[in-house]
Amino acid sequence: MSLVFAGVSSHAPGITGRSHLAPDAAHRDEFYAAYRRMGEAMMATRPDAVIIVAAEHFANFFMNNMPAYAVGMADHYEGPIEDPAWLGIPKTRIPGAAELSKRIITEILQSTDVAYAEEWKFDHGVMVPLSFLTPKFDTPVIPVNINCQGPPLTPLHRAWAFGEALRRACDSVPERIAVVGTGGISHWPATPDSGKINEPWDRDFLDRWSRNDRAALLNYNDVDIYREAGQGGFEIRTFLAVAAAARGQGHVWFYTAAIPIFAVGCTVGVMDVA
């Protein structure tokens, strides 16, 4: 088995870009510390590459040709696409692993149709997690995008199937692979509602995720998600994919709804690879 680590985390740009506006610095730092511990735990598994399953925000993919799933296949990437001062992360070059990507994509295609991309500009969906997990940006990354922005979106059961395909692909290569899903849970980002968080909905979702309860995780629909968890809630697809890939029990290391300036319930979770 070559999947050596699985986890999930929040990626909202406010986490780094509006750090100075968080009213309770101690609580904020508790979140940051949990995020960094996740990175240390990930690196302790000695991954050769980190697959970041993110939901990007029109950095690379637009409604002229929107893939439901895309996987990067380059030897290096660049990011952030956002203004570095706005995001609080300097522009940098991030190593990729094109040849490994190619083998993984080839295997995924056996069961799931994905697009590949030989260029990819990382936005906050990848850069914010990397700034905590691999702060030197020195571990090869393979970016994955699930379209959670421009409907029609891939159904949840397909996100699950994609996670299963990702696992089969990881198992087919000798390299040690870590996978991290980033996004959601409930939030209404980039709207006047920014900061609204449905904490009970989040905690119920995280309970389902921690139990890796496939039926419960697929028992959502986008109409309800939009109403109860906002358009940001569509990003649970990344958490579902990780659960399908890891197959084990999840452990939520940190969750708070008490930093609304970050526009999301701040989450750090790891999952046993089974």
* Residues at the interface with other proteins (CB under 8 A): 13-14, 18, 21, 23, 57-59, 62-64, 81-83, 86, 121, 149-151, 188-196, 226, 230-231, 260-261, 263
Nearer of residues 64 and 174 to other proteins, judged by Cβ: 64
For the chain, helix, strand, coil in percent to 5 are: 40, 20, 40
Nearer of residues 58 and 213 to other proteins, judged by Cβ: 58
Checking DSSP bridges between strand 76-79 and strand 141-146, what pairing results, if any? unpaired
φ/ψ bin of 230: left (φ > 0), alpha (ψ from -120 to 50), beta (otherwise): left
Nearer of residues 167 and 187 to other proteins, judged by Cβ: 187
Nearer of residues 100 and 153 to other proteins, judged by Cβ: 153
Nearest-approach distance from CB 13 to other proteins, in angstroms: 8
* Cα–Cα distance list, 113 to 17, 62, 104, 220, 240 (Å): 35, 18, 12, 23, 17
Nearest-approach distance from CB 96 to other proteins, in angstroms: 19
Question: Cβ distance 187 to 232 under 8 Å?
Answer: yes
| Closest C-alpha among 270, 218, 268 to residue 249 | 270
Nearest-approach distance from CB 267 to other proteins, in angstroms: 17
Nearest-approach distance from CB 259 to other proteins, in angstroms: 9
Nearer of residues 90 and 151 to other proteins, judged by Cβ: 151
Nearest-approach distance from CB 199 to other proteins, in angstroms: 12
What three-state secondary structure class fits 270?
Answer: strand
Residues 6 or more apart whose Cβ sits within 8 Å of residue 21: 14, 261
Question: Cβ distance 183 to 125 under 8 Å?
Answer: yes
Nearest-approach distance from CB 222 to other proteins, in angstroms: 9
Nearer of residues 191 and 221 to other proteins, judged by Cβ: 191
